Amino acid sequence: MNSAGAAAAAPSWPRCDRTRAWVALQGHYEAHGRDLDLREAFARDPRRFETLSFAAPEVFVDLSKQRIDLAGLRFALDLARECGLEARRDAMLGGAVANPTEGRAVLHTALRAPSAGSGGGSDSGLFSREVHGVLDAMLAFAEQVRARAAAGELTDIVNIGIGGSDLGPAMAVGALQADQHPLLRFHFVSNVDGHDIAPLLGTAGQGRAQAGLDPRKSLFVIASKTFTTQETMTNAALARAWFVQRAPEADLGAHFVGVTTNLQAAAAFGITRTFGFWDWVGGRYSLWGAVGLPIAIAVGEAGFRAFLAGARALDEHFAHEPLERNVPVLLGLVDVWNRNFHGFTSRCVAPYHQWLARLPAYLQQLEMESNGKGVDLAGEPLPFATSPVVWGEPGTNGQHAFFQMLHQGTDVVPVEFIAVREAAHGYADSHAKLLANCLAQSQALMLGKSEAEAAAEAVPTAAKDFERARLARHRRFPGNRPCTTLVLERLTPRTLGALVALYEHRVWTAGALWNINSFDQWGVELGKALANRLLPRLESPADAAGSSGDAGGLDGSTAGLLKRLAPKT
């Protein structure tokens, strides 16, 4: 069943800036929000932390260091209601067309719903037979792969995909190292740049040979819905050619598996086992289904089902919790407040857990591809900003890279700290230092340091003849810089599933208030089309000067760069 069988599209809802609540929120910002000082806010309200901290399944969220007060949050909740947020949420979860430009329902939540008849909620029957058929087959295959690893037949899993077919699995497998099969190594190839796949294939480069993988003990997962994605199929072809040079071509089916809907193309490639997915699941939301095969191989059937269960618990919270306590909704409202009222242009994600190193990149796609839109659902240009730039790096590394700008730079950048209470290692001192740094950075962003405080301090590293008062201006921290802290008890499949689902629903909340389509991505099309037109020019025969690269009809810059980059004979 495809999206044509989904329910009709939800009715039109008002855009945020065309509501009475927006006007009221703007008035509150001008009167109380613009100049809100967090230090004064905590001094006035000793219970601010308790009032502005919230619990969702597996995730605790502290919003008390955001530059919003309880009254502002209430005005934002009024905005959500006037924009029909609850009805829009229910329509989406019920299968209405939530991606109108492509005429599709948006039902990645159905991938983690219990089977029909299990008492798992009103949406558990949506496409249940299809979803659980693929899920059961995929998990059975994952267990077979793990058994082959235990028998010494497999040592390496290589996922070849890009975008949602790479970022989600790579992030999750990296995060769940404590639960991984101990005898398997995981590799993720996405870039069409041959330097990405070359080390795995043992390609010699820069004067040194690399051993590469053993084809007899490697499994390649080729993830492309259409089996035509340029980057993925280029790398898949390289992997296939490498394999058949070193092993019987008849063995290819045992070492390549496809995650695709194009069964004919996969069969022509030599793949005999495939797992499919549906047009009502966007690429950046697809790790819950067959695209999550590397995750399932890494953590096994029980681990993957726990991953789905964590996300499902957050889905239930999002679907049923009142807006005043609905954590993804509250986060989305704060995002709108920061973007459209304070005018903050970016948000830094700083996970204080090394295994979450790929989370900022994953969230870049989730938010910027979803909400990086300039027109509303009616196609009208928006008079306000949408997605911020999302970026980050794990703590404490980021502290020695870009935190200088966060603390003393001219732009205010909200920071999102993610802390995990229990470590998977046994180094208690290291973990205590990690958490102390996490708490200290959020505290420093809020409190800052005055010139008087800086002038009163001894600074052994300062130049001896540098005037103390002038030095104090260099060492002043303005403070009052907002941040959010998210806390997990442990990093497990279940808690990771809940965390990712929390971000999904948060992104949708902001997009719904902006009245944009958070589920298409037309912005990726133009560059791809132009690349396909330029490619033959780089592959054309060499000209009289010994270079390929027909520059006719191009703009001056592209023509000049093409000539500069074209291969020489």
Which residues participate in catalysis according to the annotation? 369, 400, 528
In angstroms, the CA 515 to CA 517 distance is 7
- Asked if residues 364 and 350 have their Cβ atoms less than 8 Å apart, the reply is no
| Single-letter amino acid, residue 94 | G
Nearest to 173 by CA among 275, 76, 298: 298
Main-chain dihedrals φ then ψ at residue 115, nearest 5 degrees: -65, 155
Residue 518 tokens read as 């958070």
- The greatest distance separating any two alpha carbons of the chain, rounded to the nearest whole angstrom, comes to 78
DSSP 50-84: HHTEEEETTEEEE-TTSS--HHHHHHHHHHHHHTT
Residue 365 tokens read as 């796609």
| Single-letter amino acid, residue 504 | E
Nearest to 397 by CA among 351, 445, 429, 444: 351
Torsion of CA 85, 91, 96, 97, to 10 degrees: 0
- Asked if residues 406 and 413 have their Cβ atoms less than 8 Å apart, the reply is yes
In angstroms, the CA 171 to CA 5 distance is 33
Residue 23 tokens read as 């006007």
Residue 475 tokens read as 């060492």
* Contacts (Cβ under 8 Å, ≥6 apart) of 153: 217
